[in-house]
Amino acid sequence: MKKTTGRIMLIAATLLALVLAGEGGGQRAAVDAQSMRQEAQRAEADSPAEIGEADAQQGEERQVLQKMRDVTAEDLPEINYGHAENVTADALAAALNGAADKAVSAEDAAALGYTGKNDFTMQFWCVNAYLERHEDGVFRTEDPCLELSCGLAENIVRVELLPYEHGGSVLVRDETLYTLVRHSNDYPENVDAAAYAQAKTLVDARMERALEEMRENPMEGTDCVLTRFENVLDYSEGGAESLGLYQCRYAAAVVHPERDGWAGGRYLDSALRVQDSYHWAGHLGMFYRNGELEDMKWYDVETLGDGIAANADWLRDWAKQELDATQLGD
């Protein structure tokens, strides 16, 4: 069909050239005929396969945008990656609704610094909003889901409707949605200043060791910040001796966040700091007698995990054993 149309356009171009030439417009006719001939050749060059692929892609984009436009908080029973207090179903649904009319082309996104989904080094933040609840707690690749990802290209978010064979993807430029995804992995920061002042020498020495490691890391750490020094237990048997247990966390500022290997429990927060919730982190026990600090002891994650506060009875039994073993009164 396209070849027939192309031939008709070529014939029309030739006839037009003859008519115009007969009226004294030979030069103009030649230019017009050449222009029409080139247009016909471009039309012939477009294969049905290319047109079909483009139509399919546009259809997928429309499908994703329609889902964004229609989605409600009730449609998002589970949100993975990030802290629940940062990305609630209500906030995410509202952000998706607001961004549904802000699609941008890949070319426009590239002009703003977006390097594409396959450039994993520049896709630092991701949120998966599942459209069905997982009663068994197992997440599968075929589960219907909206996957949102973004990197350093400000306000550009890639939204994908999964699974891939039934979904599609679209790029949107929206500050609200971008801010939500970028801050999805942020964490509460809480430093007990009075307790930290007592343990400053010990804590700072530990952070310095962490920073020495990060200086050698491909990301090139430049600073180490205490982000949490939070009391999780005060234990006493009613006597002179007591134990205060503090959860510690650090974040390292880095020069090259794009070199993050996404391994070992390290994740970038919105300020491009590496949070380590495993081998740098831990808990510090501060042992007191008559209100005076007598001793301090580190407990790593293998000994005391993040979930210790959820089991109060176990934790108090552990604290009693530690306090007895320390023998501050001897």
| Residue 224: DSSP 8-state | E
Question: Directed axis angle between helix 89-99 and helix 48-70, to 10°?
Answer: 140
Q: Is residue 119 part of a domain?
A: yes
Name residues whose C-beta falls within 8 Å of residue 89's C-beta, 6 or more positions apart in sequence. 73, 74, 76, 77, 79, 129
Number of domains in the chain: 3
Query: Same structural domain for residues 149 and 83?
Result: yes
Maximal C-alpha separation, the chain = 119
Q: What is the mean pLDDT of residues 108-124?
A: 81
Average pLDDT for the chain:
80
Based on C-alpha coordinates, what's the Rg of the chain? 31
Q: Is residue 53 part of a domain?
A: no
Q: How far apart, in whole angstroms, are the C-alpha atoms of residue 150 and residue 218?
A: 22
Q: How far apart, in whole angstroms, are the C-alpha atoms of residue 244 and residue 236?
A: 9
Statement: residue 280 has pLDDT above 80: no
Query: Same structural domain for residues 26 and 140?
Result: no
Q: Is residue 294 part of a domain?
A: yes
Query: Same structural domain for residues 202 and 125?
Result: no
Q: Which of 18-27, 111-120, 277-286 has the lowest mean pLDDT?
A: 18-27
Query: Same structural domain for residues 176 and 194?
Result: no
Is residue 148 within 8 Å of residue 157, measured between CB atoms?
yes
pLDDT at 330: 54
Is residue 274 within 8 Å of residue 260, measured between CB atoms?
yes
Higher pLDDT, 273 or 309: 273
Burial 164-176 (b: 16+ CB within 10 A, else e): eeebbbbbbbbeb
CA-based nearest residue to 293, from 192, 208, 194: 194
Q: What is the mean pLDDT of residues 161-186?
A: 90
Is residue 192 within 8 Å of residue 246, measured between CB atoms?
yes
Residue 60 structure tokens: 């997928």
Q: Is residue 214 part of a domain?
A: yes
Q: Which of 2-16, 69-83, 110-124 has the lowest mean pLDDT?
A: 2-16
Q: How far apart, in whole angstroms, are the C-alpha atoms of residue 200 and residue 185?
A: 27
Burial of 40 (0-12, 13-18, 19+ CB in 10 A): buried
Q: Which of 9-13, 162-166, 249-253, 263-267 has the lowest mean pLDDT?
A: 9-13
Quick: pLDDT tens for 185-205. Answer: 888 899 999 999 999 999 999
Higher pLDDT, 256 or 95: 95
Query: Same structural domain for residues 120 and 201?
Result: no
Q: Is residue 303 part of a domain?
A: yes
pLDDT at 77: 93
What are the DSSP calls for 311-328, one per residue? -HHHHHHHHHHHHHHH-T
Query: Same structural domain for residues 218 and 314?
Result: yes
Residue bearing tokens 């889901």: 145
Q: What is the mean pLDDT of residues 298-322?
A: 77
Query: Same structural domain for residues 285 and 234?
Result: yes
Query: Same structural domain for residues 138 and 201?
Result: no
Statement: residue 302 has pLDDT above 90: no
Query: Same structural domain for residues 232 and 108?
Result: no
Model confidence band, residue 156 (pLDDT cutoffs 50, 70, 90): very high
Domain boundary among 165, 182, 199: 182
Statement: residue 135 has pLDDT above 90: no
pLDDT at 262: 54
Q: Is residue 296 part of a domain?
A: yes
Domain boundary among 182, 216, 233: 182
Query: Same structural domain for residues 88 and 131?
Result: yes
CB half-sphere exposure, 44, CA atoms < 13 A: 14
Domain boundary among 182, 206, 229: 182
Q: Is residue 54 part of a domain?
A: no
Is residue 195 within 8 Å of residue 244, measured between CB atoms?
yes
Statement: residue 131 has pLDDT above 80: yes
What are the DSSP calls for 123-158, one per residue? --EEEEEESS--TTS---TTS-EEEEEE-SSTTEEE
Range of the domain at 12: 2-46
Q: Is residue 51 part of a domain?
A: no
Query: Same structural domain for residues 36 and 71?
Result: no
Statement: residue 56 has pLDDT above 90: no
Statement: residue 309 has pLDDT above 70: no
Q: How far apart, in whole angstroms, are the C-alpha atoms of residue 69 and residue 298?
A: 51
Q: Which amino acid is at 305?
A: G
Query: Same structural domain for residues 68 and 165?
Result: yes
CA-based nearest residue to 237, from 324, 330, 329: 324
